[in-house]
Amino acid sequence: MAAALGAVALLASLVSEWQVTTVDAAVFGSENDVGDRLVPTDLTDLGAFGAAILVGLFPLVVSVVLTMFGPPAGRRWARLAGLSVGGTLLGLLFALAVSLGGQSRVVPYLYSMSMNPDQMQIGYGRGLWCAFAGVGFAVLALYLADRHTPAPVADEPAAEEPPAVWSWRRPSGADEQVVPDAPLELTVGPAKPFTLLRDDRDKPSGS
């Protein structure tokens, strides 16, 4: 259920506005225009932030699908990868929310400096909230997926867990195998001299 809600929210974020800029019509210099104009900002208008969010959605979706329907041997690694990507996207969305709350994406900064504060207002769109909800539901689905992992059968012997390579914890004394010291056996005996002929010890061998 969490994965389905996340998919719907992420799809809604792709087609909704992420920022709404309200500009007074008098700024455009037309005497006939009275009132305010709403200018929406889509995901494609966010520049590098929009591209980073789109790139991050692909591995997040793949991780959720592999965790739920993939082979059991790779579900753990897919879940860890999905949680990493989801956490990164949440941080990216938070930085984007700060950026969208301070500057309009459709009105240039140099042009907005010449306007009065009451002539332009900036507000968040539905796309940003839908993206927060979608990524949050996806991370929740990955977190809950570990509870639905089938438990090992009692009749089958449990596989030995390989030793941790990067472990800060020192193994207990029961796990250490003590090897008894074997006695050293040294044998001393006569060695054959490095000569071929006994009569020619003063001459090099083979001459």
Domains identified in the chain and CATH numbers: 2-25+37-148 (1.20.140)
Residue (of 60, 78, 61, 87) closest to 146 by Cα position = 78
Torsion of the alpha carbons at 140, 146, 148 and 151, rounded to the nearest 10: -170
DSSP per-residue letters across 118-134: GGEEEEE-HHHHHHHHH
* pTM exceeds 0.75: no
Neighbouring-strand partners of residue 39: 21
Residue 195's pLDDT is what?
57
Other C-beta atoms closer than 10 Å to the C-beta of 17 total 20
The confidence score (pLDDT) of residue 197 equals 55
Averaged over successive runs of 10 residues, the pLDDT of the chain (207 residues) comes to 90 89 70 70 86 92 90 88 92 90 74 70 88 93 75 48 43 53 65 60 55
For residue 162, the model assigns a pLDDT of: 45
Closest CA to 82 of 54, 61, 53: 61
Per-residue pLDDT at 161: 46
From first CA to last CA, the distance across the chain in angstroms is 94
Sign for the CA dihedral angle at 6, 11, 12, 16 comes to positive
